[in-house]
Amino acid sequence: MTDMLLGQALVEEATKKSGLIWVRGDSPARALWHVWHEGAAHIVGDGPGEQPLPGLTGGGTAEVTVRSKDKGGRLIVWTAAVSELEPHSQAWEAAVAELKGKRLNAPDAEQMTERWARECRVLRLAPQSVHASLPEDSQAAPPLPTPATTRHPIPAGLPRLLFKRKKSRSR
């Protein structure tokens, strides 16, 4: 019983303090921003300009990996029950009020909650169990393909600007 309570406390504290959580449903793990509210992590996405939530469906489960905010290393892994909140329900309104405060760089801050109700999904990830031991391997994976990633040659003048030596002043 004590181990279960300690596990729940560790999940809550680690997840609250971490800016990102890695969530794996039926697709590869993805880093998602979230907010901890009323005993669960809440995420918003699957709409224009919001984070994608592939493989996460209401009624399913997901594996959540929480990283350390200061070192970035894996702290804890827990299994979550995924539920989709109904737009404008009491639980949805409470979660969205918290999410709205954490959403950075929203293009439409004034109409954001209405856009989320029309076009996005708000998911609640409630902890079910804590994995007692962390995996032995690093579980490193190549980045997921995205149209946002581009690779261009560096500008010709950049090395000169970066490595320019300061001229010594003669006295």
Spatial neighbors of 133 by CB under 8 A, at least 6 apart, are: none
Q: Is residue 10 part of a domain?
A: yes
Q: Is residue 56 part of a domain?
A: yes
- Quick one: pLDDT at residue 155? 80
Q: Is residue 39 part of a domain?
A: yes
For the entire predicted model, the pTM comes to 0.79
Can you give the CATH number for the domain in which 18 is found? Answer: 2.30.110.10
- Quick one: pLDDT at residue 96? 94
User: Residues in the chain with pLDDT < 70?
Assistant: 1-2, 132-134, 149-150, 165-171
Q: Are 120 and 44 in contact (CB under 8 A)?
A: yes
Query: Alpha-carbon torsion 132, 73, 140, 9, what sign?
Result: positive
Q: Is residue 160 part of a domain?
A: no
Contacts within 8 Å (CB) and 24+ apart, 97-101: 98/35, 98/37, 98/42, 99/35, 99/42, 99/43, 99/44, 101/35
| Position 67, amino acid | R
Q: Which domain holds residue 56?
A: 2-132
Q: Is residue 18 part of a domain?
A: yes
Spatial neighbors of 126 by CB under 8 A, at least 6 apart, are: 39, 40, 80, 81, 83
- Quick one: pLDDT at residue 145? 78
- Tally the domains of the chain: 1
- Quick one: pLDDT at residue 62? 95
**Residue 99, class by beta-carbon neighbours within 10 Å (0-12 exposed, 13-18 middle, 19+ buried)?**
buried
Q: Is residue 122 part of a domain?
A: yes
Q: Is residue 21 part of a domain?
A: yes
Q: Is residue 62 part of a domain?
A: yes
